[in-house]
Amino acid sequence: MKNLYEQLVRPLLFSLEAETAHHFTIASLRRASHFDPALRALKRFTPPSKPKTLFGLTFPNPIGLAAGLDKNGVALPAWAALGFGFIEIGTVTAMAQPGNPKPRIFRLPAQQALINRLGFNNDGADAIAVRLRGLRESGRWPAVPVGINIGKSRTTPLEHATDDYVYSFRLLRDFADYITLNVSSPNTPGLRELQEPAALSRLLHAIHSEPGPVTKPLVVKISPDLSPVELEAVLAACEENRVAGIIATNTTLDHSLIPSEFDEEGGLSGAPLREKSTALVRSIAANSKIPVIASGGICDAESAREKFGAGAQLVQLYTGFVYRGPPLLREIMEGM
């Protein structure tokens, strides 16, 4: 049975071009984040509490906002009010960048899927650090864990990628409860090469070696397109370099489950990614002690239960949230 979001709000949003609808939604939540009556209204969606502790952090519930929806960290209080147990902003790059040419987000409603080739469009680490500092000083910082997802600037050569990540890490770590290293987006040329064991180890070692009073948990977001051999090598590098968690997964370049007439270049997310993502979660849980945060194809309570059954400790929503809206959080929690 469709909820009110699916009956009324989604048709209005889907009448707009996809990226326009996205910007409208984020702008609305940004305004709500500075208006207490609006935040109180959003709290009607808050699901039942079911605290979870992972890598030293306490999550009010195991459902998080995946990176990509709030790239610039403009609406943290609103996401918390909606009931997310944690919020991941980004992907943030060292330099501000516009991303790839438009159009770059495509809806596939019949498949409950999205294709995006955004390319890390964001305000850059300097501007986002200023914004987060202002939010903290305003007293509106959310009472849930906040993760910051960082990636490589498009114009930075791959051989200098480590310096790029370290720059963002230095600026943003004080505002993050954990830091995610995005080495798996298919929309920045060459980025996935950073999943190769030597490159990943160099990056992790450099981040861990940064001087500072507090060490933040490091999480690595991986591709669903890794072969079993590649996954084994990634897990070995992560274990060797004390990674706190793995997000499985990013979007996929495997478009075999969608009709060719609707296909576009970019990363596919949503229901078609469900099985592939779950298989990777299951494989990581069976072959490693590193906690898994599942992302990919979570569109209802059943698909969330599937991820937890495969070994996930937490889950993150993106495409499922676009299609099902805020009621999805309560549906998942009540269905656990």
Catalytic residue set: 185
Q: Are 298 and 320 in contact (CB under 8 A)?
A: yes
Q: Are 320 and 270 in contact (CB under 8 A)?
A: yes
CA–CA gap between residue 135 and residue 144 (Å, rounded): 14
CA–CA gap between residue 206 and residue 134 (Å, rounded): 28
Nearest CA-CA partner of 254 in 296, 221, 302, 285 = 296
Q: What angle do CA 69, 30, 2 make, to 5 degrees?
A: 60
Residue 53, phi then psi, degrees to nearest 5: -110, 130
Residue 267, phi then psi, degrees to nearest 5: -85, 130
